[in-house]
Structure 1
């Protein structure tokens, strides 16, 4: 049986899908995941991976935090990667999410395009990072900052021999 956080995320995915009038088949196809996997996620029989959450967030048009119920302290993790939601600010025109990232040295986090108009910013606290998006590459060292359009596929890699510690801010406009 899935854990309570996984079951809660699955229930949120189902509610958002139904709210948007999408069938299970349509969302699975748009997210590029199997219909059976999505069904198991929604029913709470499967814990979602970070890749799966990002995959469904885009087609649903919501920020990742919406699937985490915007709960401070919620953790989204995969092997060698952990994002802890520190804060969410929901304004009239956008939602901003602030995460503390911990990425093991050499690990690459690939992210599909977020909702239209989304922008990410990264402030490196320790280690180094290479950010790649839309044919661009930016290297950021401790104390540095990068910003990029997050409505295109992008990735960041913990560069060098040290683990990356960074603050990641994702701003998603409403109505995208």
Structure 2
């Protein structure tokens, strides 16, 4: 996990700061407008851009949608890089940008026992697939989540609010397919 290695944590924080700032400027968004669109505080966004705040998975996903990028567009595509929010830890296994501009990201996902993480909608057309390897997880579009035991899988639309939870802790492989950015 990034918090286990202070140098790696600072490196991630600085890389995320540069990417968020660059993407915000590219989209010609003010700090206030991006914060509002992402549903986060302006102070939080300012600290992220300054590299003085550690990015959480929830905050990164909240920003990725309005900025029109997949998660790796903010954290980078370094295999083994991990982001966590205390409930979900996502460790990047692979990322591929396709000829049409779409992206496929593969993560090793760990969901803490008793925790729930609600994820905001991603770019339109995004699809998520989870195969549970150990434990059990309840995942999917909010309001129609599926309980999966080890060996089971489920796919859902990632461009709606969705959630991950686990009664006993879970590990699995999460594939996120993001279409080309047509915005």
The TM-score with structure 1 as length reference comes to 0.93
The answer to whether the aligner puts 1:68 opposite 2:49 as a matched pair is no
| Cα deviation, residue 104, structure 1 | 1.6
- Compared with structure 1, are the counterparts of its residues 101 and 147 closer, same or farther at alpha carbon in structure 2 (3 Å cutoff)? same
In 2, distance between residues paired with 1:46 and 1:11? 13
Q: Indicate the residue corresponding to 1:99 in structure 2.
A: 107
User: Gaps (5+ residues) in structure 2?
Assistant: 1-8
Q: 2:57 aligns with which of 38, 50, 54?
A: 50
In 2, distance between residues paired with 1:103 and 1:130? 10
| Cα deviation, residue 135, structure 1 | 3.2
The answer to whether the aligner puts 1:156 opposite 2:172 as a matched pair is no
Q: Summarize the alignment of residues 93-132 of structure 1 with structure 2, pairs less than 5 Å apart.
A: 93=100, 94-132=102-140
Q: Indicate the residue corresponding to 2:31 in structure 1.
A: 24
In 2, distance between residues paired with 1:144 and 1:48? 31
| Cα deviation, residue 78, structure 1 | 1.4
Q: CA RMSD in A?
A: 1.5
The answer to whether the aligner puts 1:172 opposite 2:181 as a matched pair is no
In 1, distance between residues paired with 2:146 and 2:39? 28
Name the count of aligned residue pairs: 174
In 2, distance between residues paired with 1:74 and 1:132? 24
Which 4+ runs in 1 deviate beyond 4 A? none
In 2, distance between residues paired with 1:5 and 1:49? 11
Asked whether the equivalents of residues 87 and 111 of structure 2 are also in contact (C-alpha less than 8 Å), the reply is: yes
Q: 1 or 2, which has the higher strand percentage?
A: 1
In 2, distance between residues paired with 1:46 and 1:138? 34
Q: Indicate the residue corresponding to 2:3 in structure 1.
A: none
In 2, distance between residues paired with 1:41 and 1:134? 28
| Cα deviation, residue 16, structure 1 | 0.8
Counterpart of 1:92 in 2: which secondary structure? coil
| Cα deviation, residue 152, structure 1 | 0.2
